Amino acid sequence: MVLFLFLIFPLAISCGVAAIICFAGSRTGSDGACRVAGVLLVPVLLVCWMFPFLIAQCAITFVLAAIGIHAQFSFRTLTTGVILTAVGCSAAFGFSAYQSWKLFAAAQAEHPQVSLADRFADHEIRPTRNDPEESVDMAGRVEYRLEAFEESRPVTHRGGVLRRLHNATAMDFALAPSFGVSRMPSLGVDQIHDLDLAEVAPIPLGSITEYRPATAAATTADGPQLPADSLAPGELQTLHSAGVDTFVDPDSLGGYWLDREHATGFLPHQFRKAPSTGIEDQWRVTRLELISLLRHATPVAYVSKNLPSMNELKHAPTRPLTAFESGSLADLQTDEDIVFREDPNRIQMVGAVRASSDCMGCHDVPRGYLLGAFSYDIERVHPLPEPLAEDPRVSGGTKRGHILAVHRQGR
């Protein structure tokens, strides 16, 4: 195939064009040869327009033919010149293709395909997916938000380059002599060398606190609403959605994979930036833990002073879930995306981490399956005075819910 593209095909076109022009010149003179050359120009351009080096080679052939006819070169002499020109052009562009191949090969060696099977071997607590398109039957609002999340995921530059590096068709396309230049620009040195993501050290969460499950009983007493600066459900949704987005950063998922045995560019999930409430001077996240549903016989939460990072959590201690967290998981399976409860100075929240279309290849679970969850403590920077905070009359009212009442809200 390479020999055909680089030598035989160009040589055949060049010799064919030269033979037709010379034959016309021998019968009708230089004027006839020029007319034939003009007629041939259009079909030659149509055949060669995706091959810039062939256009250059045919242009040289036309010039040589015109000179040969004008100087009355023999057909043999003209054919020899055309053949030498074709070989020279093929050699020049073959060298260029060889340089591209070396660049591809070096990049492939630097970013090899690896197996991810060992990352999943110890957690097979999951349903069997019989259909590649299988999806969990979720509540309508949960399905809607999962679709919105998937549609918001960008096709990353890094992913596209890695995919092309390890796709044989793409490599053949790029190594062909400028073939498809209008449809698939060649990968440049800058693109290939811009594939490494900067390593991010585990991010400590400032003023992180030990988990303190609330013990006060829920109340149904009506009373004044919480202060106006309390976080609204929509703000809690935004906080959690941003956390999921950075934890499963599209760039970190890798650019090309066929299955668990063949993946390249994959990086373990981790937070790459700290979560923000948007009003850090009033409320801040003081605890954020990953709840594991796949690696243990019963769900547990990883305990760390840092934001969740899978590399670090492999060796992190765990704790059992609280009653609130366990109860929240039941709601998160298919009906909700976040569940939270609050008192005047503290909000506890559990948010779903679901399998989107990006996750299904590695995790091999139905779309929408609950892979894990994040458990949050969000506390006031300046707590309300103790007498006010302990006053059972300070409840959430009908709009915000009651003190320590559980709220269920889709993300």
The pLDDT of residue 320 is above 90: yes
**pTM of structure:** 0.62
pLDDT at 375: 95
SS (H, E, C) the chain: CHHHHHHHHHHHHHHHHHHHHHHHHHHHHHHHHHHHHHHHHHHHHHHHCCCHHHHHHHHHHHHHHHHHHHHCCCHHHHHHHHHHHHHHHHHHHHHHHHHHHHHHHHHHHHCCCECCHHHHCCCCCCCCCCCCCCECCCCHHHHHHHHHHHHHCCCCHHHHHHHHHCCHHHHHHHHCCCCCCCCCCCCCHHHHCCCCCCCCCCCECCCCCCCCCCCCCCCCCCCCCCCCCCCCHHHHHHHHHHHHHHHCCHHHHCCEEEECCEEECCCCCECCCCCCCCCCCCEEEEEEEEEECCCCCCCEEECCCECCEHHHHCCCCEEECCHHHHHHHHHHCCCCCEEEEEECCEEEEEEEEECCCCCHHHHCCCECCEEEEEEEEEEECCCCCHHHHHCCCCCCHHHHCCCCCEEEECC
Compute the average pLDDT of residues 199-204. Answer: 77
**Worst-scoring range by mean pLDDT, 30-34, 87-91, 246-250?**
30-34
pLDDT digits (tens, 9 = 90+) for 236-251: 999 999 999 888 876 6
pLDDT digits (tens, 9 = 90+) for 219-234: 333 334 445 567 888 8
**Worst-scoring range by mean pLDDT, 237-241, 311-315, 349-353, 357-361?**
357-361
pLDDT digits (tens, 9 = 90+) for 157-198: 566 666 666 665 455 555 555 444 444 445 554 555 556 666
